[in-house]
Amino acid sequence: MSFITLEGVTKEYSAALALRGVDLGVAEGEWVSIVGPSGSGKSTLLNIIGGLDTPSSGRVLINGTDINSLSEDGLARFRRETIGFVFQQSHLIPYLDATENVMLAQYFHSIPDRKEAEEALVRVGLGHRLRHRPPQLSGGEQQRVCIARAIINNPALLLADEPTGNLDRANTKNVLDLLKELYKQEKFTVVVVTHDPYVAGWAERVIHMEDGKVVKDEQIRT
């Protein structure tokens, strides 16, 4: 049984269909990239998988749970306990330091624990930047804080939307190296949305989307 199952998922906005009946399965512990041109529906699909958006029709099951059947509170609980998010923009709180930004995710999950947050930052190579606020960090470092924030609650699924979109190639490689290392250690499932073939190439499987549909599904490594 797939860890993520999408059955006939459509998403209709006022004038256009963003998704046109997507069927998809992602196994537990798999690293999948979703690629496609702008407007192909890949970010919409990621938001629907993450419960940030709802499909117009169809079902989304994560680890057997139909997330659209959950109440608002239930969905929020499910998100904070099961999913970690990394976005293109870091969305870090500018007046909190790196540790406090990670602790904020702990707070919304359960209770903050400074020691554990600092350990997570050390793991992503920011042991020397614990008390630095986001404006004092480089783009690559900010994205590392985001990864620490995403994994701090031990998620089973990590969703990343253009995680290296703002980074140069060297920093992109550093961030992806880090993600790969954590992926191997933590054994979570990863879904990365990107338009960059270099980033997509780090996955085990690449799903190509066009015009709201899956047009190609290729296994590039096992």
| Binding interface with other proteins (CB under 8 A) | 81, 106, 109-111, 113, 116, 152-154
Q: Which is nearer to other proteins, 42 or 123 (CB)?
A: 123
Cα 112 to chain centroid, rounded:
22
CA–CA dist 65, 76 (Å, integer): 13
CB of 72 to other proteins, least distance (A): 16
Q: Which is nearer to other proteins, 146 or 200 (CB)?
A: 146
CB of 84 to other proteins, least distance (A): 10
Q: Which is nearer to other proteins, 81 or 177 (CB)?
A: 81
Q: Which is nearer to other proteins, 109 or 213 (CB)?
A: 109
DSSP state letters, 49-88: HTTSS--SEEEEEETTEEGGGS-HHHHHHHHHHHEEEE-S
CB of 29 to other proteins, least distance (A): 16
Q: Which is nearer to other proteins, 6 or 157 (CB)?
A: 157
Token reading at 144? 């590392």
CB of 122 to other proteins, least distance (A): 13
CA–CA dist 39, 59 (Å, integer): 22
CA–CA dist 127, 121 (Å, integer): 6
CA–CA dist 193, 27 (Å, integer): 17
The closest of 36, 145, 156, 22 to 87, measured between CA atoms, is 145
CB of 81 to other proteins, least distance (A): 8
Q: Which residues pair with 6 in a beta bridge?
A: 24, 60
